[in-house]
Every structure is written in structure tokens, then in C-alpha cells.
């Protein structure tokens, strides 16, 4: 009995954090998918979050998700949208994680949602913003539409995977997260490295 309760608690935490991470890629896509899954009985929503599966909410999430996805493919608009979407992702991460922390009392539910849910959504969004800045610096913004498509795909895959297999999804997302952070760190280091003109290395080593 205790083991069953512990497993249910762990699954609810994985669901909340996984959906929060997906909000870091796209704010409204995880909300739309979670609401649709709850509408068809595949996902349980916590008390006070039943509105997420209502027709008006799904219509709003769907419209907002479509606008968000299309806007990321407009040159230079994507960077502005990243700035606006950053706080929105944190708010969405707090809300969607709280909707899954049904095993906690309200105090701990919202504390965990704000700290962990909002924190992980903000971390993923920050990583996304950094990756977009690197793409802009290295491709002049030409690679941003492809990056936007990859972020959209990551949001969909993460949301679906965490609802189908919460424990596996967390392992996969942690592995991908460590890889992404390593790649971004290496790219930023290369961009910050000063570019010496040709022959300067030889001149620096030659005697006056």
C-alpha cells in the first residue's frame, strides 16, 4: 500500500516537472495537450484545474499555440517573442505542475509548483534563449526558423512522452538537458574566444 502511494507520488511529480519543462520550449503547446488528454480521460487534473479541459480553454490554448508556433518563424520577431514568452513560460510551468501535484496538500503543492515547476520552465526557456542568441550570432538569424521547429517538436514530444511514460520521460529529458547545456557552453566559449588576425601568433612569438 505504501509502495503504491510512493509510486503515485513520484509519477505526479514527474508529470508536473515534465510538463513544466515542455512549457519552456513552447508556452501553450503543453497546456493544450494536457487539457486535451484530460478531456479524453487520459490525464487527471488536480482540484480547481478542471477548466483546462473545457472547450473554451482548449480553443484558447489551440489558438495561442498556433500563433506562438507561427510567430517563431518570422525573422527578428522570434527574438522579441522569446523576451515576452520567458515570464509566460514560468507562469505556465507553475500552473501546469500544480495541476499534477494532486498528492500534496495546497501549501506544499503551490510551494513545489512555484519553486520546481516555475524554476524548470524558466531554466529551459533560458537555455532556449541562449541557443537562439547563438544561432543569431552564427547564422545571422537564418537558422532560427529551424531552431524554432526543433523547439516545437521538443515541446510536443516531451509533453506526450511524459504523459505516456512519466518516469522514462524524466530520464530522457535529464540526459538531453545535460547534452544541450554542454553544447551551449562549448558554443559560447568559441564565440567569446578572440579572433586573432593571420600571422599574429607568429609575430607574438618572435623577438622584438
pLDDT tens-digit series, residues 28-39:
999 999 999 999
Q: pLDDT tens, 157-198? A: 999 999 999 988 888 888 877 777 776 677 666 666 654 444
pLDDT class of 7 with cuts at 50, 70, 90? confident
Interatomic CA distance for residues 161 and 178, integer angstroms: 18
What 154-157 contacts at long range (C-beta under 8 Å, 24+ apart), as own/partner pairs, is 154/22, 154/25, 155/22, 155/23, 155/25, 155/26, 155/29, 155/30, 156/29, 156/33
The total of other beta-carbon atoms located within 10 Å of residue 17's CB is 27
User: Which residue from 91, 102, 93 is spatially nearest to 21, judged by alpha carbons?
Assistant: 93
- HEC sequence for 27-56: CHHHHHHHHHHHHCCCCCCCCCCHHHHCHH
* pLDDT of amino acid 64: 92
Contacts 24+ apart (CB under 8 A), 46-52: 46/98, 46/99, 46/100, 46/101, 46/102, 46/109, 47/102, 49/95, 49/98, 49/99, 52/99
Cα–Cα distance measured from residue 11 to residue 16, given in angstroms and rounded to the nearest whole number: 9
Nearby residues of 61 by Cβ (< 8 Å), 6 or more positions away: 28, 31, 32, 35
Interval 137-149 mean pLDDT? 79
Q: Convert the pLDDT of each residue in 28-87 to its tens digit.
A: 999 999 999 999 999 999 888 999 999 999 999 999 999 888 887 776 676 677 778 889
Query: Mean pLDDT lowest for which of 12-21, 30-39, 124-133, 176-185?
Result: 176-185
Question: Quick one: DSSP state of residue 1?
Answer: -
Q: Please give the share of the chain, as a percent, with pLDDT higher than 70.
A: 83
Amino acid at each position: 500500500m505504501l509502495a503504491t502511494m510512493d509510486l503515485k507520488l513520484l509519477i505526479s511529480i514527474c508529470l508536473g516537472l515534465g510538463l513544466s519543462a515542455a512549457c519552456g520550449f513552447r508556452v501553450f503547446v503543453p497546456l493544450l495537450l494536457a487539457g486535451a488528454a484530460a478531456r479524453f480521460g487520459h490525464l487527471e487534473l488536480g482540484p480547481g484545474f478542471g477548466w483546462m479541459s473545457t472547450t473554451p480553454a482548449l480553443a484558447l490554448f489551440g489558438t495561442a499555440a498556433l500563433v506562438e508556433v507561427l510567430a517563431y518563424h518570422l525573422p527578428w520577431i522570434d527574438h522579441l517573442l522569446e523576451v515576452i514568452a520567458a515570464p509566460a513560460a514560468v507562469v505556465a510551468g507553475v500552473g501546469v505542475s500544480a495541476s499534477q501535484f494532486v498528492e500534496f496538500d495546497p501549501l506544499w503543492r503551490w510551494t513545489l509548483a512555484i519553486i520546481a515547476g516555475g524554476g524548470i520552465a524558466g531554466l529551459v526557456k533560458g537555455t532556449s534563449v541562449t541557443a537562439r542568441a547563438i544561432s543569431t550570432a552564427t547564422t545571422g538569424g537564418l537558422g532560427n526558423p529551424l531552431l524554432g521547429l526543433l523547439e516545437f517538436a521538443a515541446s510536443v514530444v516531451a509533453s506526450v512522452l511524459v504523459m505516456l511514460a512519466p518516469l522514462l520521460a524524466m530520464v530522457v529529458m535529464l540526459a538531453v538537458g545535460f547534452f544541450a547545456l554542454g553544447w551551449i557552453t562549448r558554443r559560447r566559449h568559441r564565440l567569446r574566444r578572440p579572433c586573432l588576425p593571420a600571422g599574429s601568433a607568429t609575430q607574438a612569438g618572435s623577438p622584438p
